[in-house]
Amino acid sequence: MTNDEETYLICAEVRDNDNVSMVPGTIQIACADCGRQVWCAPSGQRLLMSDEQTVIAVCNACGLKRMLEEEDEVEITIPPGAYGEISRALRQPPVP
């Protein structure tokens, strides 16, 4: 991957009455394409702040749309540490 390529971070949409995050430190941010609120866990937040690559957070629907419509290959990533975050969270009760 080169520095001028964009990488997409697919984030789960925040649904109505869904204000509890499974992973501690998760925040709500806006999808870069449609503006809907999505969840962004700490691993994703670190990736978005990376100086080494351009990372764009999008919701599931917008990520799929980009994959289907863009002519160039679309880079989608799972942030380093995401698997550990989720597996730890699954063993604990939800936190607000």
What residues between 32 and 51 interact with Zn ion by CB under 5 A? 33-34
By C-beta, is 48 or 89 nearer to Zn ion?
48
Which ranges of the chain does DSSP label H, i.e. alpha helix? 42-48, 60-69, 82-90
CA Rg value for the chain: 14
With contacts defined by CB under 5 A, name the span among 26-34, 39-47, 70-78, 82-90 that binds Zn ion.
26-34
Closest separation between CB of residue 60 and Zn ion, Å?
8
Tokens of 67: 């994959």
Which residue has tokens 């990488």? 7
Tokens of 9: 């971070």
Q: Are 11 and 59 in contact (CB under 8 A)?
A: yes
Closest separation between CB of residue 2 and Zn ion, Å?
25
Is residue 67 within the footprint of Zn ion (CB under 5 A)? no
By C-beta, is 56 or 89 nearer to Zn ion?
56
**Residues at the interface with Zn ion (CB under 5 A):** 31, 33-34, 59, 62
